[in-house]
Amino acid sequence: MQDRTEVNSRIELRYDKQSELESNLSCGNNLSFLELRYGDKILDLGCGKGLESIEAAKLVGDSGTIVGLDITPKMLRVAEENAKKHNTTNINFIVGGIENLPFENESFNAVMSNCVINHAQDKSRVYREIYRVLKDEGKFVVSDAVTKSPLPESIKNDPVQWAACFGGAVTEEEYLNSIKNAGFKVVEILKRREYLKNGYAFISLTIRAYKAG
Ligand SMILES: C[S@@+](CC[C@H](N)C(=O)[O-])C[C@H]1O[C@@H](n2cnc3c(N)ncnc32)[C@H](O)[C@@H]1O
């Protein structure tokens, strides 16, 4: 694969612009599958403008906490403005990358992520990090894009395509193996929608797994 610094700067460039637009960047609805409880501590990976973080913050109440992590500082500035508009005070937005989470082991009751992990070069590492930061009874719900067949090398090696939720997408089998290899024994597919992206067969998946299996 190509230089990661170049990919990350393309990602920031793309999402800098997206932060100013009204467009919907999600590929699923994770909250309905998370069964959040009052007081839960939740991590939203690649929280973007923070809309799902804000909904989650309402569900966990004042004694709960949401941490929204994103690599694009401008997205987080918009997320903070949105949280203010909704009078939400139990969210912390943090700049960071999903492959190296700045949290201690077993910090969260649940992790959610919507259309983000396809951007990561090492999906196995992201899922190992999710496993590490989850409490023993914790779970994740992730929506993401995968492919039916491997993409051509020319697309996989193009940082612009990688930033466009396209070039970093791997096959469903490869993606699910990353999760299982991280330690999650049972992976539930909650939603599955097939579509064409730039002429290639893609699948939008919403998946859930419990750390305890
Ligand atoms: C398609 S948007 C989704 C935003 C949000 N989850 C939503 O559903 O509206 C992808 C987000 O992931 C962030 N992102 C991409 N790669 C990342 C990485 N390696 N680490 C952290 N955030 C990342 C981008 O900055 C962007 O905000």
- H helices of the chain, in order, are 4-18, 31-34, 51-60, 73-85, 123-133, 153-156, 159-163, 172-181
pLDDT-derived band at 213, boundaries 50, 70, 90: confident
Gap between the Cα atoms of 115 and 153, Å rounded: 22
Gap between the Cα atoms of 103 and 135, Å rounded: 12
Gap between the Cα atoms of 147 and 203, Å rounded: 6
pLDDT digits (tens, 9 = 90+) for 67-110: 999 999 999 999 999 999 999 999 999 999 999 999 999 999 99
Q: What is the mean pLDDT of residues 48-72?
A: 97
Smallest CA separation from ligand 1 atom 8, residue: 26
Q: What is the residue range of 120's domain?
A: 4-20+27-210
Q: What is the mean pLDDT of residues 179-199?
A: 97
Tokens linked to 152: 């051509």
* 121 Cα: distance to centroid of ligand 1 (angstroms): 14
pTM above 0.85, yes or no: yes
CATH assignment of the domain containing 68: 3.40.50.150
pLDDT confidence of residue 2: 62
Gap between the Cα atoms of 96 and 197, Å rounded: 28
Q: What is the mean pLDDT of residues 52-80?
A: 97
> Exposed e or buried b for every residue in 141-168, given b needs 16+ CB within 10 A?
bbbbbbbeeebeeebbebbebbbbbbbb
Instruction: With CA atoms as reference, report the closest residue to 89 among 142, 53, 36.
Output: 53
The residue type of 84 is K
Name 5's Cβ contacts closer than 8 Å, sequence gap at least 6.
none
Gap between the Cα atoms of 192 and 207, Å rounded: 9
pLDDT-derived band at 1, boundaries 50, 70, 90: low
Smallest CA separation from ligand 1 atom 2, residue: 25
Number of domains in the chain: 1
* 46 Cα: distance to centroid of ligand 1 (angstroms): 4
pLDDT confidence of residue 17: 86
CB 48 less than 6 A from any atom of ligand 1: yes
